[in-house]
Amino acid sequence: MNDYLKTKGRIFDIQRYSIHDGDGIRTIVFLKGCVLKCRWCCNPESQQYEIETMLVQGEPKVIGRDVTVEEVMETVEKDRTYYRKTGGGLTLSGGESLCQPEFAAALLKAACEVGINTALESMGCAPYEVIEGLLPYLDQYLLDIKHMNPKKHKEYTGRSNELMLENAMKIAQSGGTELSIRIPVVPGFNDTVQEIRDIAEYTKKLGNVRRIHLLPYHRLGQDKYEGLGREYLMKDVEPPSNEKMELLLQAAEQASQMECQIGG
């Protein structure tokens, strides 16, 4: 009967006291494997499904482990008091959680069954049926929209954006979860007023969106590229300035006519 608790999946981290990814104090489970390969990704060790070795401060560290839902829930349960006081709960992140649909659904269900709030941080890059299967167990969907131009999207993330934009619309229309849109603001990729405005306008069309988050690019993942023996393509990109972020925030607010904020 509780078979879903035995469902296995692959994660690369569990981070407690997360306060920028969904409401309240949350525990984030990072699922391994992604469909995209964003150049600015701060968790490059998330991209590949295969278990790999990364050098952390010169020491090799195995990234990725296979766990059951039950095992994950043991850690998630530990901060229940904090969730209750702050409206927090479990957040699935990645990678792209939708790459492990069964595991993701089972995790969300397990939390939902015991009264823990759930959130999913995802690009929505999967057949809509997969997403639909999660919605009954999902309280908040933090959906990334990175760019409206398919060509540029493909150039920087490795994939075009049609499916994701389509899914965004379906999720919004389903009314099955609370939807927020997150835009990573990456200099040289989408940091012009026009690009942000385009996304905001699309968000307005979606309707039924709680809030837009502008997440300023940071290069804190840079060391990890080195640890994985990969080249960091954005070495010379400076994080956007405060002034720039404020300007883009205004643009987003004007175009979307909804609540917008900087940060998670």
Minimum CB separation of residue 121 from other proteins in Å reads 7
Which of 24, 101 has the CB closer to other proteins?
Answer: 24
Rounded CA separation 149/146 (Å) = 9
* H or E element, residue 65: strand 65-68
Minimum CB separation of residue 264 from other proteins in Å reads 3
111 close to 118: Cβ distance less than 8 angstroms:
yes
Which of 28, 109 has the CB closer to other proteins?
Answer: 28
- Using rule CB under 8 A, residue 24 touches other proteins: yes
Which of the stretches 16-24, 123-131, 151-159, 192-200 binds other proteins when contact is defined by CB under 8 A?
Answer: 16-24
Which of the stretches 73-81, 110-118, 169-177, 192-200 binds other proteins when contact is defined by CB under 8 A?
Answer: 73-81
Show the site string, 128-167: x = touches other proteins by CB under 8 A, - = not. ----------------------------------------
- Using rule CB under 8 A, residue 85 touches other proteins: yes
Runs of H (alpha helix) within the chain:
69-77, 80-86, 101-113, 128-134, 150-157, 162-174, 193-206, 222-227, 242-256
Residues 6+ apart with CB under 8 A from 101: 126, 130, 133, 134
Instruction: Give, as ranges, the residues between 193 and 212 that touch other proteins (CB under 8 A).
Output: none
- Using rule CB under 8 A, residue 233 touches other proteins: no
Residues 6+ apart with CB under 8 A from 258: 203, 204, 209, 211, 212
- In the complex, which residues of this chain contact other proteins (CB under 8 A)? 15-21, 24-25, 28, 42-43, 56-57, 78-79, 81-82, 84-86, 88, 93, 121, 182, 213, 215-216, 218-223, 239, 242, 261-264
